[in-house]
Amino acid sequence: MTVSDFEQLYSAASRMLGAQGSPTWHEDRWPAQRRVTFTQLEAELTKATFRPADPLVQPGDPAAAGVGVGAQGGDRVGDPNHDEPVLVADPADVADPALGLVTMGARFPEALLSLAAYVSEDPDGVDEPLVLPGLLHTAITGAVDELAARIAPGRPTVAIGNEGAEAADALRELANSLRTALGLPPGVPRRILVNAHPVAADAAAHERLAAFAKTAADAVPAPDELGDDFSVRYDVAVAAADLRALIAGEDVPAWRERQPGIDPSRHLVTAYRWEGADGRPVDLADWAAELRQALATSEAPWRPSPEHPLPTESADRSWLLYPKRQALVTADLLDELAARLTPGTTTGLIHFTSYPLHHYLTHTLRTPTTEL
């Protein structure tokens, strides 16, 4: 057993669980055997991952945490007197939760707790919204989806190429457009200061994980046998088939992108462009141009006032409200993605501990947004 063998098994097993979207195995909709086997696999993947308290998982580890620290040499960005989230290299540095959000450098579980608490405990979000044109909201939604996909549990290591430079800069511009509207200074570009730590790999761990993974995969029908069982996503059935084949020693990919030809080092992993019957990946540089076009052609975000009130609803213009704290969180997430798309960044195999944060970003975060 090699480290590569273990990482492929870990990646394939994580992919099968993550492909379900929500943790359906915690509910009664699934047969008992499938629920039990998925729950056991979830526990084994968590066990095989360095736990949040493990000193080997350093704050800022891109495989297990939010990345880097601010480039100004300090451990924080922004001014807490303006309710800007405090972003630190070690969550233990924040003694007062009133100081705000902890995501920069925070391990995935702590980052989720901070995000959820910061957004939900917003006393003035309704009274102090930010107005965004629909086009900017669409751009932001796509960026958050891209971040979620890039921290999906089990995603293999990737080194970002030069194509990421323009995308990283455009994401920072988008983030700063939100901060400017809130009267805050621009964010400081992040950098990764630590190497990604691998998941725990030894022969005994490989044997245990393979056993739990096979039992869970065997509880999933083959893709062509799903029939009317809509409780299992098709991608889960495909991942389970790959996992069974991998354990049997067949040459199958541990990880599959959404469409063929996507290279995470230079393409978006969440988008694909169709031109007739032919499709193609979206270059990061092309996406950067689209983000800048959205910024250039849209009215800048603003806080409504008597001089600049809420817009009148019309058929050809859509506007959305972002509560103040959601806007700050969103700017923070855009900076996180920018750091992960900076050329030369190497993320490492994403740990399974990212799963709850991945789910939060794709299923929960955007719900406070209200269309006028």
What's the chain's average pLDDT? 82
Decide the pairing of beta strands 278-283 and 267-275: antiparallel
Q: SS3 for 322?
A: strand
> In the structure, what pLDDT confidence band is assigned to residue 72 with cuts at 50, 70 and 90?
very low
Taking 90 as the threshold, does the pLDDT of residue 165 lie above it?
A: yes
The full set of domain ranges for the chain reads 125-188+261-371
Averaged over 166-193, what is the pLDDT? Answer: 90
CA distance 359 to 148: 8
Under DSSP, the state recorded for 112 is H
- Alpha-helix residue ranges (DSSP H) falling in the chain: 3-18, 32-48, 108-120, 134-150, 164-181, 203-218, 234-247, 284-297, 324-340, 355-363
CA distance 134 to 139: 9
> In the structure, what pLDDT confidence band is assigned to residue 50 with cuts at 50, 70 and 90?
low
pLDDT one-digit tens code per residue, 341-355? 999 988 889 999 899
Residue 137: phi and psi, rounded to 5, are -60, -40
Query: What local confidence, expressed as pLDDT, does residue 81 receive?
Result: 38
Query: What local confidence, expressed as pLDDT, does residue 271 receive?
Result: 94
Residue 6: phi and psi, rounded to 5, are -65, -45
pLDDT one-digit tens code per residue, 225-268? 998 888 999 999 999 999 999 999 999 999 999 998 999 999 99
Taking 80 as the threshold, does the pLDDT of residue 323 lie above it?
A: yes
Under DSSP, the state recorded for 354 is G
Taking 50 as the threshold, does the pLDDT of residue 205 lie above it?
A: yes
pLDDT one-digit tens code per residue, 82-103? 344 333 333 333 323 333 334 4
CB 132 within 8 A of CB 322: yes
Query: What local confidence, expressed as pLDDT, does residue 189 receive?
Result: 82
CA distance 198 to 196: 6
